[in-house]
Amino acid sequence: MGAAILQLRSELQARFDAPFGIAKRSEQRHLATGIEAIDRLIGGGVPCGTLTEICGAESSGRTALMFALLSESTRRGECCAWIDAAGVFDPTSAAEVGADLERVLWVDCGGNAEHALKSADLLIQAGGFGLVVLDLADTPARDARRISLASWFRLRHAAERTGAALVAVERETHARSCSALRIGMKRKQPVWVGKLLRGLALRAESDKHYRVQTAEFVAVR
């Protein structure tokens, strides 16, 4: 594993033209999503050095929120990794909302959740990434539930050590006590302007420090 991480760091440094490795930890940072209602809800943005879960059914706004976070993070110069367990990431849609794909490493795992976990572990331990997204949203529920609590603890510990913001995107929560923040997404209703579909009204619920708070926003199409 050690040799693999050293080789990966070298390759990533050439790819992103940025230093990779374990940086000295400072006070906790947050990565803003750029959606004012969400950032206010969760205290300024997604916390770095922790595991966050973003959950919701299809068309609940979970992808819109993640693309907003990816866009804002790359705009601020962060190197980001998107680990795509089911092979459904759409780089064109991400770019359309402002994500700088030159600063995104996309790992297509072709439907293999185990490979996605191993990729997340390796990339977080390599250091240098401000944001690591583990996209399990389209992974079959039976496979997602097989991920052990020990695996989630390992990923959380790696994020704590390297300072990366690790975000798991899922249909439902799986990491339980391993995640420091859980955001549940729900679709409310479409927003029309005349006969034109303007977007979707979405509701986010944040479970942080055993308190549930909510925020609403519109995802524009």
pLDDT on residue 70: 98
CATH number of the domain that residue 168 is part of = 3.40.50.300
Does residue 16 sit within a domain? no
In a domain, 7, yes or no: no
Q: What is the DSSP annotation of 164-215? A: -EEEEEESS--SGGG-SEEEEEEEEEEEEETTEEEEEEEEEEEEETTEEEEE
Residue 3 host element (H or E):
helix 2-16
Q: Is residue 1 part of a domain?
A: no
Measured CA to CA, the distance from residue 163 to residue 142 in angstroms comes to 30
The series of mean pLDDT values per 10 residues for the chain, 221 residues long, is: 65 64 67 93 94 93 94 96 96 96 96 94 92 96 93 95 96 92 82 56 69 70 52
Which of 92, 101, 50 is CA-nearest to residue 73? 101
Number of separate domains in the chain: 1
Q: Does residue 81 lie in a domain region?
A: yes
- Enclosing domain of residue 172: 29-187
Q: Is residue 2 part of a domain?
A: no
